[in-house]
Amino acid sequence: MMKRLFSTLLLVVILGASLATVSAQGGAPFRVYLAFEDGPTDAYTPQILDILAQHNAHASFVIAGAQIAGHEDLLQREVREGHALINHLWEEVGVYAGAPADAVIASYQRTEDALRNALGDMLPIYDSQTKMFWQPGGAAQPFPPADGINVITYNWNVNSDDCGWAMPDSVDLDTLAFDQAVIQNVLGESVSVGSFHNPNNAYDYGDGVIIIFHDLNRVTGRVLPTILSELQAAGAIFEALPRPWDQVGTMPAALGAAPMESSGYEGYTITGRVLQESRLRSTPGLDADIVTVVPADTPLVATGRVPGWIQVSYEGQTAWIARSLIELQGAIPNLPMR
């Protein structure tokens, strides 16, 4: 499965096409929010910025305070090119979720002061933007109350695990298999284990999904073009945080939270692919009549959904297929709920 998906994604880059084409009728957005944590770094941040520019993509950079000195030019470039900066505290020790509020506030302010001093001519742009906080390891609650500090606390929906912290032993971090696994974590079925395992990918979350990477290792730059190309082919646009609906003083994305329910958009369709020989049924349910049986790799057009099932159009017929049996590369919550 993983090798098949990776091969497909490589074809996307080479041919400029995708198995999944989205026919989204107006008003069905697919906004994707990429975040790059723990930088900036001389070795990897410039490459990531170049790739984002090539794809006309904006993102958010989650800045570690200890990385600011000596990287002022990169921070200024990030702001100049339309990306957002998020305060990631000075360093991780002592400020994980559950740390004393005064330690978190002090680390935030130290990082904020250094960041402002580093931005030069870009400071007015930064000052005009909503301030954001990203706790090391993920936050369990919003930023603690503090005079003069008004922020949105962010977590991720999808973890790429591009540092390999939760990759299974079968994935060699020094081989192409690692690249494949990172792509799979974002676009397919999660490879990572333990708390890093997420049964939902970027398509399952759809509009507003937040995907975490790091700009401190070499794999991120290798996989980013494939991920950007695939998501763009599926109708995604890449924006910098905050999301339009997020409010200061809140933590809008809880770690491990399932995708939000949505009624979807009538007329929104996604072209998908059957993963194995499958029965198409007249209604959603294993006891429903079988309309037909289709072989693996059959293309189907998804036209709607209910929990666990996807409504599809095939050879002029409307039928249903179990969600686990079809690969969909589009904003699944945008499919209308039936």
Residue numbers of the chain with a pLDDT score lower than 70: 1-26
Quote the CA–CA distance of 60 and 34 in Å, as a whole number: 6
Range(s) for CATH 3.20.20.370 in the chain?
2-13+28-238
Quote the CA–CA distance of 302 and 330 in Å, as a whole number: 10
Three-state DSSP class for 213? strand
Q: Are 107 and 90 in contact (CB under 8 A)?
A: yes
Classified by CATH at the fold level, domain 269-334 comes out as: SH3 type barrels. (2.30.30)
Quote the CA–CA distance of 182 and 166 in Å, as a whole number: 11
* pTM > 0.85: yes or no: yes
Residues 6+ positions from 175 with CB-CB distance below 8 Å:
none
Residues 6+ positions from 106 with CB-CB distance below 8 Å:
none
CATH 3.20.20.370 at 2-13+28-238, yes or no: yes
Range(s) for CATH 2.30.30.40 in the chain?
269-334
